[in-house]
Amino acid sequence: MEPYEKRSRTPWVVGVSGASGTPYAAAVVRGLLAAGEDVDLVVSRASRLTLLDETGIKFRDAHWREDLRTWLELGADGKPHTFDVDADGDRVRYWAAGDLAAGPSSGSYPVKGMLIVPASTACVAGVALGLSKDLLQRAASVMLKERRRLVVAVRETPLNGVTLKQLVALDEAGAVVLPASPAFYAGATHIQDLVDFVAGRVLDAAGVPHQLYRRWKGELGEARSRSEG
């Protein structure tokens, strides 16, 4: 009989599409791991090009654990070894985007939900239309049909009418549409603060506790007074 620990594993699926914003994805994965959550990672083919362009990291199927650790340890400013990340053992599983027989492709595979971060407009279209052209889109379709939580952190500007209609369709299907829009009231002083704000809002939508940003307490100028003090 399979050990109880493995049978009870119920991860969050994190899908990374080809939109700009790979630091957002890294911050979300770090936040999930810090909260004691397990992660099933799906990295699209297009996102590998974006990751290489934004960080210089080559994400390879055969060396995914090594490449993931390098990515997760990287600060949003490009500084290596900024974060100490525990992604060993069974905490993170990686599924190739072309593997349509992977666990997350089936509704019988136990997961808590899925976070697409960042979500490109092509990804939004694929999920809204139910194309399931790769594992990322198929897993998102599974979330919708199984009525599981799906957070779509769309990263594009401006948005045309077609994409807006597709985002409305996702909202009506039960997904949370979450634009990757940093806020400044939390007193950001570094690019990492802005990245963590968006990642924190994604985790908020998933119901995962974190301490990635300072929450609004109804006090005007609180962040400014803190910095001046």
Query: Does residue 116 lie in a domain region?
Result: yes
- The answer to whether the beta carbons of residues 180 and 155 sit under 8 Å apart is yes
Domain ranges, residue 31: 10-228
C-beta of residue 150 within 8 angstroms of C-beta of residue 113: yes
Query: Are 117 and 16 contacting, i.e. CB atoms less than 8 angstroms apart?
Result: yes
Whether residue 1 lies inside any domain: the answer is no
Per-10-residue mean pLDDT, the chain, length 229: 59 98 98 97 98 98 97 97 90 97 98 98 98 98 98 97 98 98 92 98 98 89 64
Let me know if residue 190 belongs to a domain.
yes
**Domain membership flag for residue 202:** yes
Residue 5 in domain: no
Examine residue 126 and state whether it is found in any structural domain, yes or no. Answer: yes
221 belongs to a structural domain: yes
Is 57 part of any domain?
Answer: yes
- pTM beyond cutoff 0.85: yes
Query: Which residues does 169 contact at the CB level (< 8 Å), separation at least 6?
Result: 128
Number of compact structural domains in the chain = 1
What are 214-220's contacts with CB under 8 Å, separation 24+? 214/186, 214/187, 215/186, 216/185, 216/186
CATH code for the domain in which residue 158 is found: 3.40.50.1950
What local confidence, expressed as pLDDT, does residue 217 receive? 84
